[in-house]
């Protein structure tokens, strides 16, 4: 593959080149990995930045519907929008973004939108790297907004938050006692909580739920990256396309403030460091499966089990061999 050519085409916003490059970063083949790394390195020199928006919500809350209407609203304003997903398990059999491409019918036909299904994967670490690299490719291809969706299984919210500039939590209208069902850690990650389905019979419940979450957000510890009034809860209807431009207005206000105050750059730098450490960790773990490491491990395993070696001694010998 001609990496320089691929780079040039991506920088010229060629969608097919972008799709090919994403396939390249998804590949597990060592030669592909080397090419992907070289390509990403080249593209990072262009220094383009999108607004990366992470979006999480339980199955059925309306993520796909929201992405479709929100995405259409953004493209109508002349913005280019890419949609990616972190989908660490097969937990959402019916709800994969691949099936969603048909549900996001209007958006997937929009020339200013790019929707990429998540590769099916069991290993969150692998999905995280691929998605993060796909985000970087979309940025280089000049997308103004990159939406990263996750259904929030296990640690996937944290993964998405670590690659986003803004984190949205989509919630359903619910009785007050269900408020506790949202884990505190996830609430703490949110910049904007959107209570969806604020329409028809659900409207008044949605408004009550929104008030409950506004109250809950005020009780959280103040974060340095927030101006007054953030994080905030709002109601939307993805179906009736209500509240979407208000939500976008709040997102831009927050983003501009963060850029001005240096929080944006600081967070991007911290995220780069986080992923650097993560890659090192993953690389070290991979070494345990390479060369004669597995044999040595099982040899030492036997010695630990028989009491010939302490766990500490055995670990030291193993680590010495790996370095
Ligand atoms: N009344 C109402 N229904 C909505 C709204 N948004 C989504 N829905 C409905 O909720 C159901 C689930 O919507 P999806 O967009 O598929 O939800 P999802 O979060 O993508 O679900 P998964 O992909 O399974 O995780 C569908 O029947 C939608 O029509 C809304 O704003 N109002
Ligand atoms: Mg969906």
Find all residues with CB under 8 Å of 14, minimum gap 6, and list them: 141
Give nearest CA residue, ligand 1 atom 2: 197
Give nearest CA residue, ligand 1 atom 8: 62
Find all residues with CB under 8 Å of 218, minimum gap 6, and list them: none
Distances 257 to 230, 232, 266 between C-alpha atoms, Å: 11, 15, 13
| pLDDT at res. 261 | 97
Q: For residue 36, how far is its CA from the centre of ligand 2 (angstroms)?
A: 29
Rounded CA-CA distance 141/6 in Å is 11
Rounded CA-CA distance 202/61 in Å is 13
> What pLDDT, in 10s, does the model give residues 15-60?
999 999 999 998 888 899 999 999 999 999 998 899 999 999 988 8
Q: Contact at 8 Å (CB) between 213 and 179? A: yes
| pLDDT at res. 191 | 97
pLDDT level of residue 99 (50, 70, 90 thresholds): low
| Shortest-distance atom of ligand 1 to CA 151 | 25
In the chain, the percentage of residues whose pLDDT exceeds 90 is 71
| pLDDT at res. 120 | 60
| pLDDT at res. 102 | 60
Q: Which ligand is nearest to the CA of 200?
A: 1
Q: Contact at 8 Å (CB) between 118 and 26? A: no
**Ligand 1 — pocket residues by CB below 6 A?**
57, 59-65, 92, 95, 151, 196-197, 199-200, 237-239
The average confidence (pLDDT) of the chain is 90
Q: Which ligand is nearest to the CA of 173?
A: 1
| Shortest-distance atom of ligand 1 to CA 202 | 1
Q: Contact at 8 Å (CB) between 216 and 179? A: yes
Rounded CA-CA distance 128/158 in Å is 10
> What pLDDT, in 10s, does the model give residues 66-87?
999 999 999 999 999 999 987 6
Give nearest CA residue, ligand 1 atom 17: 62
Find all residues with CB under 8 Å of 150, minimum gap 6, and list them: 54, 55, 56, 85, 86, 87, 156, 157, 159, 160
Number of Cα atoms under 13 Å in the Cβ half of residue 131: 34
Q: Is 70 exceeded by the pLDDT of residue 125?
A: no
Rounded CA-CA distance 245/223 in Å is 25
Ligand 1 pocket: which of 64, 115, 174, 207 to mutate (most atoms within 8 A of CB): 64
Distances 281 to 38, 87, 274, 287, 288 between C-alpha atoms, Å: 21, 21, 11, 10, 11
Which spans in the chain are helix H? Answer: 3-11, 15-26, 30-44, 63-76, 97-103, 105-109, 124-140, 156-161, 184-189, 203-219, 244-261, 263-287, 293-306, 311-322
Neighbouring residues of the ion ligand 2, judged by CB less than 5 Å: 63-64, 95, 100
Q: Is 70 exceeded by the pLDDT of residue 295?
A: yes
Residue at token pair 């044999």: 295
Using CA atoms in the order 81, 64, 105, 245, what is the torsion angle rounded to 10 degrees? -50
Q: Contact at 8 Å (CB) between 238 and 69? A: yes
Give nearest CA residue, ligand 1 atom 10: 62
Q: For residue 207, how far is its CA from the centre of ligand 2 (angstroms)?
A: 23
Q: For residue 31, how far is its CA from the centre of ligand 2 (angstroms)?
A: 34
Indicate the pTM of the whole model: 0.91
| pLDDT at res. 132 | 92
> What pLDDT, in 10s, does the model give residues 135-193?
999 999 999 999 999 887 667 888 899 999 999 999 999 865 666 567 778 888 999 99
Q: For residue 217, how far is its CA from the centre of ligand 2 (angstroms)?
A: 26
Residue at token pair 């509240």: 243
Rounded CA-CA distance 71/69 in Å is 5
């Amino acid at each position: 593959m001609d990496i320089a050519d691929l780079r040039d085409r991506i920088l010229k916003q060629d969608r097919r080149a972008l799709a090919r490059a994403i396939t390249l970063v998804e590949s597990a083949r060592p030669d592909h990995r080397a090419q992907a790394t070289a390509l990403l390195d080249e593209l990072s020199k262009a220094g383009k930045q999108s607004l990366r928006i992470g979006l999480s919500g339980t199955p059925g809350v309306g993520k796909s519907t929201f992405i479709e209407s929100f995405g259409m609203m953004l493209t109508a304003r002349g913005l280019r929008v890419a949609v990616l997903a972190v989908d660490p398990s097969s937990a959402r059999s019916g709800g994969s973004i691949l099936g969603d491409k048909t549900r996001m019918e209007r958006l997937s036909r929009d020339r200013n939108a790019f929707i990429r299904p998540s590769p099916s994967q069991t290993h969150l670490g692998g999905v995280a790297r691929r998605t993060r690299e796909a985000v970087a490719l979309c940025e280089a291809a000049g997308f103004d907004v990159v939406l990263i969706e996750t259904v929030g299984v296990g640690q996937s919210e944290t993964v998405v938050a670590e690659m986003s500039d803004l984190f949205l939590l989509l919630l359903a209208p619910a009785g007050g006692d269900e408020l506790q069902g949202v884990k505190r850690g996830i609430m703490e990650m949110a910049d904007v909580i959107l209570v969806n389905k604020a329409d028809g019979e659900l409207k008044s419940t949605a408004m009550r739920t929104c008030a409950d979450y506004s109250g809950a957000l005020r009780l959280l510890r103040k974060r340095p990256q927030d101006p007054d009034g953030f994080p905030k809860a709002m109601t939307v209807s993805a179906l009736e396309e209500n509240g979407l431009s208000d939500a976008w207005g709040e997102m831009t206000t927050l983003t501009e403030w963060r850029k001005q105050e240096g929080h944006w750059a600081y967070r991007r730098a911290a995220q780069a460091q986080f992923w650097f450490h993560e890659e090192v960790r993953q690389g070290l773990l991979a070494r345990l499966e390479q060369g004669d490491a597995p044999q040595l491990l099982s040899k030492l395993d036997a010695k630990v089990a028989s009491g010939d070696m302490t766990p500490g001694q055995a670990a030291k010998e193993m680590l010495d061999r790996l370095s």
